[in-house]
Amino acid sequence: MVWSGIRGTNGRLLAAAVGVVSVTAAVSAWTAQAGPAGDRAAAATRPSAKPSATAASPAEPRPIPGQTSVPDPQLPAPRVNMDIAHASDKGPRGVNITIDDGPDPTWTPQILQVLKDNGVKATFCMVGTQAQAHPDLVKAVVAAGHRLCDHSVSHDTTMNTKSRAYQAKEILDAERMITEASGGVAPLYYRAPGGAFTPYSRQLAASRGMRPLGWNVDSEDFKQPGTAALVGTVKNEITNGPTVLFHDAGGDRGETVEALRQVLPWLKQQGYAFGFPVR
């Protein structure tokens, strides 16, 4: 899901968000961890990788229910689970439609219409600069009952190689931009560009109430392989898990619009219910 256009649109960093906890260089670095079936760090794909479980000692904070990663006590405490979410709140027959990189004035309205026509709610993972440029579309997404997700400011797929200060600015500035554009509705999830999560970025997002969000089925619509290929990917891979990745920006998304028009009724016919990622 590399989008060089987005990364080039934000040539400067905004001032650091107030309240970010500064961490000394003596804190040991954490490596990026990706979830199953599609969460990829910038340089590698690890379909079967999961965050490794860490046993909590009496001196360490205990994980919140369902969480396998122990929070760093020197960082803000998580308000939601900091592990990367893949499951659906609709259970094993649930499907989460997620839409990345927008909003875009050409493609987001068309995708919103297809979702409305099929009675489907989705999660829109928005780039901060795009949300700031198109607040009317952010408000339209919220008004239609969809959820918001923080997808960073500049869509830097190498975020996992950058400093904690850089990661914090990307996450927190995007959160602010999206919340302001929506009229006060905060994102509920954080999806790292290209799946470039780090334990630090996951805990920081979770401390703001944003569950780290992965995916199970990557439609790879950014490659524009044709509508039939997109539909075939979803049909063939939906058994990998419920969270499906599409895009509404970064190029011509006509194939995506048509693929959604075809695949959403098919998923219903197969007995799937549409929901949101677990929190």
Tens digits of residue pLDDT in 255-274:
999 999 999 999 999 999 99
Average of per-residue pLDDT across 175-181:
98
* Active-site annotation holds for 39: no
Percent of the chain with pLDDT over 70: 76
Q: What is the pLDDT of residue 65?
A: 52
H-helix or E-strand spanning residue 149: strand 147-150
Please give the mean pLDDT across all residues of the chain. 83
Q: What is the pLDDT of residue 36?
A: 35
Confidence of residue 69 (pLDDT cuts 50, 70, 90): confident
Which range among 41-55, 80-94, 165-179 shows the weakest confidence by mean pLDDT?
41-55
- For 95-127, write each residue's pLDDT tens digit: 999 999 999 999 999 999 999 999 999 999 999
Which residue in 134, 146, 155, 247 is the catalytic one? 247
Q: What is the pLDDT of residue 66?
A: 54
The top-scoring range by mean pLDDT among 2-16, 32-46, 251-265 is 251-265
Confidence of residue 68 (pLDDT cuts 50, 70, 90): confident
Confidence of residue 160 (pLDDT cuts 50, 70, 90): very high
Provide DSSP, 204-266.
HHHHTT-EEB--SEE--GGG---HHHHHHHHHHHGGG-SEEEEESSSS--HHHHHHHHHHHHH
Which residue in 39, 83, 100, 221 is the catalytic one? 100
Residue 190 CB contacts under 8 Å (≥ 6 apart), including other chains: 149, 150, 151, 171, 175, 201, 202, 205, 208, 210, 211, 212, 213
* Active-site annotation holds for 100: yes
pLDDT higher than 60, residue 201: yes
Which range among 22-36, 83-97, 188-202 shows the weakest confidence by mean pLDDT?
22-36
